[in-house]
Amino acid sequence: MADDTLEWHAVTKASELEEQEPEHARIGDTLICVVRLEDGIFAINDVCSHEFAQLSEGFVDGEEIECPLHQATFNLKTGEATAPPADDPVETYPVKIEDDQVYVGFKKQA
């Protein structure tokens, strides 16, 4: 991934992320859900694609997060909707860690 196309935003400390315990962050107007899984830290858009709800208040089971309102599930690595009522995926964001700081990458505005 060519880093120069991304703007990196600091969201949380890696050491503060417990495995499978989602955290939320806000970058500008965008709500982000950050989760540590067994094999890394992943970031997705925090808003359920079905109806407004914050996924970071939901339950992580394996690689999936379950929406707290209607039990739709999303894959944390791909953003794919894996159970109804959601059909559309949520956006995923690249993550990098430097000196315990977790950064989420947004595409630079043209």
Which residues bind to other proteins, rule: CB under 8 A? 20-21, 57-59, 61, 66, 68-71, 84-85
Nearer to other proteins, 70 or 77 (CB): 70
Closest separation in Å from C-beta 59 to other proteins: 3
Angle at alpha carbon of residue 52, lines to 46 and 54, rounded to 5°: 35
Closest separation in Å from C-beta 98 to other proteins: 29
Closest separation in Å from C-beta 24 to other proteins: 12
Strands (E), the chain: 6-13, 23-27, 30-37, 40-45, 59-61, 64-66, 73-75, 81-83, 92-93, 95-98, 101-107
Closest separation in Å from C-beta 57 to other proteins: 5
Residue 8 to residue 94: CA distance in whole angstroms: 9
Angle at alpha carbon of residue 104, lines to 108 and 71, rounded to 5°: 115
Nearer to other proteins, 67 or 104 (CB): 67
Nearer to other proteins, 11 or 67 (CB): 67
Nearer to other proteins, 61 or 98 (CB): 61
